[in-house]
Chain A
Amino acid sequence: AQRVTQPEKLLSVFKGAPVELKCNYSYSGSPELFWYVQYSRQRLQLLLRHISRESIKGFTADLNKGETSFHLKKPFAQEEDSAMYYCALSQGGSEKLVFGKGTKLTVNP
């Protein structure tokens, strides 16, 4: 069964510090992986996905199939990055997203 694990419920860093939000998955095939973000009082929105290999708002994520991880990183955190972050997995050919339980990131001034 597919599973997404985000080991940290809460993560707190200072502005300007590097940040890494961890995501591990279990899936035997070739997954599609996503990071979704939910800012305060806003709807859930896509931040980035591994197939596009792009950097959004300074965030990047690399799929490591050996470690079955898809950690989200940003070298210099900003206060506006404070939000709830969800890692999600979709198996190829399937439409549903399997979400991790989320990590609440707080960037302190």
Chain B
Amino acid sequence: GAVVSQHPSRVICKSGTSVKIECRSLDFQATTMFWYRQFPKQSLMLMATSNEGSKATYEQGVEKDKFLINHASLTLSTLTVTSAHPEDSSFYICSATGGGETQYFGPGTRLLVL
């Protein structure tokens, strides 16, 4: 089946630093990638949708200057959390589609901002 990877799986950083998370589709071309955030015991919240070669579409309430998304190729999207603060600590998950409706999810990245 289709495989999506994320790197890193876990990151701890100091407040004020920026963190980059990569999402890769390993065996298919991902026309669309989604970025989600999940707080403990809560469901996934869509942050943004990105299509290769175009600007990401952010959900209401998500700061585009704080969560920078780049989808430069059909197999890679990156999420950069800029000037991270403790409240940004969360589980970040990406998913990708190859044009159909099935979304293939990455394993997630656990971010802890001290």
**Binding between chains A and B:** no
